[in-house]
Amino acid sequence: MYSHSDIWRLIDRVAATFGYSPSGLAKKAGLDPTAFNKSKRSADGKPRWPSTESIAKILAVTGMTMTEFFSLADQDDDGVPRGGADRAIPLIGLAQAGRNGFFDPDGHPAGSGWDQVRFPGMSGTEQKNAYALEISGDSMAPLYREGDIIVVCPDTGPRRGDRVVVKTRKGEIMAKELVRQTASKIELRSLNPAHDDLVLRPDDVAWIARILWISQ
């Protein structure tokens, strides 16, 4: 169960993740700039909860899902999940990952050229093929910035609204939001509003893998 201080800490972490102060995030979300100030977190000596409306507006302006919001509670101050086994997982740059030879047909890491990064919380059997990609450039800003590391699981089926990594048959690899997937098309939303959304045919896609974590 989350406490008042846990939820306020999550709001502070969202603000820091997207490069805002708490007051800057409140203003960006269309709220009173003082809405997340320390002085507003208690009244008459009693802790106050942030309103569900304010959290909804934070999610809307940042593009985060509720699951991603609460997943921050399970990360340390470096954005790494707490608990679970600490083990090494393959790491490669996102741009480099688009070249041939780094993945098998199912989207699992393959071949040489991979580095490694130690990452806690990866003990589940469904995560045994998880790997990490280091972001380069600003095509996925503001959600993912250059130098961020995203952890991807090819064995966890993506659902509508999930952040995913997609590799096309042409070798292009990208991080998007899965809007809809049918037998005839795959609709993807760009994380950076400056880039167009995409609609791909299933035959054009080599694989789709769900993004589990981001370490910033």
Q: How high is the pLDDT of residue 187?
A: 96
Q: Where in the chain is the domain with CATH 1.10.260.40?
A: 4-74
CA distance 216 to 208: 23
Residue 80: how many CA atoms within 13 Å on its side-chain side? Answer: 13
Q: Where in the chain is the domain with CATH 2.10.109.10?
A: 87-215
Q: What is the number of helices (H) and of strands (E) in the chain?
A: 5, 11
Q: How high is the pLDDT of residue 81?
A: 58
Q: Would you say how long the chain is, in residues? A: 216
Residue type, 26: A
Express each pLDDT in 8-33 by its tens digit: 988 988 888 777 889 999 999 999 99
- Phi/psi of residue 41, nearest 5 degrees: -90, 0
DSSP run (H or E) holding 163: strand 163-168
Specify the CATH number for 87-215; select among 2.60.40.420, 1.10.1740.10, 3.30.70.270, 2.10.109.10: 2.10.109.10
Residue 198: how many CA atoms within 13 Å on its side-chain side? Answer: 21
CA distance 66 to 188: 19
Q: How high is the pLDDT of residue 86?
A: 64
DSSP run (H or E) holding 62: helix 52-62
CATH says 4-74 is which class? Answer: mainly alpha
Render each residue's pLDDT in the chain as its tens digit; 216 residues: 678 788 898 898 888 877 788 999 999 999 999 999 988 888 888 888 888 899 999 988 888 888 778 777 766 655 555 655 567 889 999 888 988 889 988 898 998 889 998 776 555 555 678 899 999 887 787 778 888 888 898 887 888 888 899 999 998 999 999 999 999 999 999 988 888 999 999 999 999 998 887 776
Q: State the sign of the Cα–Cα–Cα–Cα dihedral 27, 29, 32, 37.
A: negative
Express each pLDDT in 64-83 by its tens digit: 888 778 777 766 655 555 65
